[in-house]
Amino acid sequence: MYANREGMHNNLIDEPDNDYSSPEVRYSVLPNAAGKRGKQFCQEPFKVATACLTSFCLILLMILVVTSIHSGNKGRSSDQDSPSSASETHMQTGCANVTALTEELLTVKKEKRELERERSQLKDKITELEATTAPCTSPAPTKSPCPEDWKHFNGSCYFISVTSRSWSDSQKYCKRNGGHLAIIHTPEEQTFIWNLLPRGYWNAYWFGISDEKVEDDWYWVDGTKLVGGFWEDGEPNNHINEDCGYMIKTDVLTRVATKSWYDAPCYMSLPWICEKTTEST
């Protein structure tokens, strides 16, 4: 029995070409075939997953491309629309300005018509007033009662010389012109004459008073005696036989008209002041 088994075993080993159609052979190769098919079955899901991922990536890529193209077209569309929108805005602004100017022009025309109407009414009123009112005439200038170069005050005319003479020669000049050396009785008259005199270092002018007949008895040229007077303090002093009166006006602004009389020798050469009444002119 054991010999038969060993013979069968040897026969199996020694036979190089086995018939795989036998049941023993088929069962002996089953483990290898099953291993190959299991390996192939495990590799197929990875291939499917790889293919799915690749397809998904391609789909995403296509979506991104389409989206970018759509965005670009939209951007270009907005860029193309912006000039059109700006033009429309300018047109609307221009139309608004034209409307405003038109309204302003109409307002100005209306105001012009009103002003023309008022102007016409004023012209009519002026014409009416001119027709009913006598023409106004300016009063004729009052003619001075004094000759030229003579100044009028309170019924008298006064002349201020610009040349110099002695007291007696000055009196002769005044008589030839219908007057005499000035006789001064009031502060107003004294101030009026003094204001006619120009200022200077020592501008002195003869007037009609003297004490030639009796010292310290001062008389006017018309024979009336002096009462009071407008002497400077300390005057008259008869310093060197000073018998004729004169008045001064200097550059000293503190001097006043009512203290401006001095006495001096009658032969001195000074300007003079003549006086005559308006009736004598």
In a domain, 141, yes or no: no
Mark whether 218 and 158 lie in a shared domain. Answer: yes
In a domain, 224, yes or no: yes
Task: Give 279's pLDDT tier (boundaries 50, 70, 90).
Answer: confident
- Is the distance from CB of 204 to CB of 247 less than 8 angstroms? yes
pLDDT in tens, 178-210: 999 999 999 999 999 999 999 999 999 999 999
196: domain CATH number is 3.10.100.10
Minimum mean pLDDT range among 4-18, 48-62, 170-184: 4-18
Mean pLDDT of 5-20: 46
pLDDT score, position 98? 83
Structural domain containing residue 85: 37-112
Mark whether 167 and 271 lie in a shared domain. Answer: yes
pLDDT score, position 22? 46
The edge-to-edge listing of strands for the beta sheet with 261-264 is 219-220, 203-210, 244-249, 261-264
pLDDT score, position 82? 57
pLDDT at 124 over 60: yes
pLDDT at 215 over 70: yes
pLDDT score, position 260? 97
